[in-house]
């Protein structure tokens, strides 16, 4: 899990599906300043950012890798536009899993004196899951804010 930056131009995008809040791309192909290309596959992108991911868009692209997916969380385009977006759906889901699992375990212990295995496993796994998703989001926010002085090279 982590964040990275690509400076370059979008050559092509393959949109898999667009939902209300986020878009999923099969791949995004970047042309780097040295002429090489980099492909970022299977990406989840918040729609505010996805609107800037068009072929020909030049600038700085902010990438992230989470537990089970990756994506683009920000763009600073050569035309001066800046956009940031990072979904918290997985963070909220992990909190929901924790609450439901905790209640299931508590009621089972009170009712039958034993905790169900699946609910106990989900209870234990939901805490590190939340922390990892939150850490990735915080890294992404800090990365984008720390790079606020970036201006694309003239050209």
**What is the 8-class DSSP label of residue 68?**
S
Angle between helices 89-112 and 117-146 (to 10 degrees): 160
Can you give the pLDDT at residue 148?
A: 83
Element (H, E) at 44: strand 37-46
Can you give the pLDDT at residue 153?
A: 64
Task: Grade residue 80 by pLDDT with cuts at 50, 70 and 90.
Answer: confident
Q: Three-class SS of residue 19?
A: coil
69 within 8 A of 44, measured Cβ to Cβ: yes
| Nearest CA-CA partner of 38 in 29, 26, 51, 47 | 29
Predicted confidence (pLDDT) per residue in 99-128, tens digit? 999 999 999 999 999 999 999 999 999 999
pTM recorded for the entire structure: 0.88
Task: Grade residue 155 by pLDDT with cuts at 50, 70 and 90.
Answer: low
Mean pLDDT computed over 54-74: 94
Can you give the pLDDT at residue 84?
A: 96
Task: Grade residue 19 by pLDDT with cuts at 50, 70 and 90.
Answer: very high
Whether the pLDDT of residue 154 is over 80: the answer is no
Phi, psi torsion values for 110, nearest 5 degrees: -70, -35
| Burial status of residue 23 (CB atoms within 10 A of its CB: 0-12, 13-18, 19 or more) | buried
Whether the pLDDT of residue 50 is over 60: the answer is yes
d(CA 115, CA 65): 34
d(CA 29, CA 39): 5
136 within 8 A of 66, measured Cβ to Cβ: yes
Task: Grade residue 149 by pLDDT with cuts at 50, 70 and 90.
Answer: confident
Q: How far is CA 4 from the centre of its chain?
A: 12
């Amino acid at each position: 899990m982590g964040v990275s930056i690509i400076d370059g131009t979008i050559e092509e995008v393959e949109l898999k599906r667009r939902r209300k809040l986020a878009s999923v791309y099969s791949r995004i192909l970047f042309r780097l300043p040295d002429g090489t290309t980099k492909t970022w596959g299977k990406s989840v992108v918040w729609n505010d950012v996805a609107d800037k991911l068009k072929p020909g868009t030049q600038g700085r692209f902010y990438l992230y890798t989470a537990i089970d997916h990756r994506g683009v969380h920000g763009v600073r385009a050569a035309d001066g536009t800046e956009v940031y977006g990072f979904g918290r759906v997985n963070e909220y889901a992990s909190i929901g899993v924790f609450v439901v699992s905790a209640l299931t375990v508590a009621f089972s212990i009170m009712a039958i004196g034993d905790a169900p295995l699946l609910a106990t496993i989900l209870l234990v796994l939901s805490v590190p899951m939340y922390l990892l998703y939150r850490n990735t989001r915080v890294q992404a926010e800090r990365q984008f804010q720390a790079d606020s002085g970036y201006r694309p090279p003239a050209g």
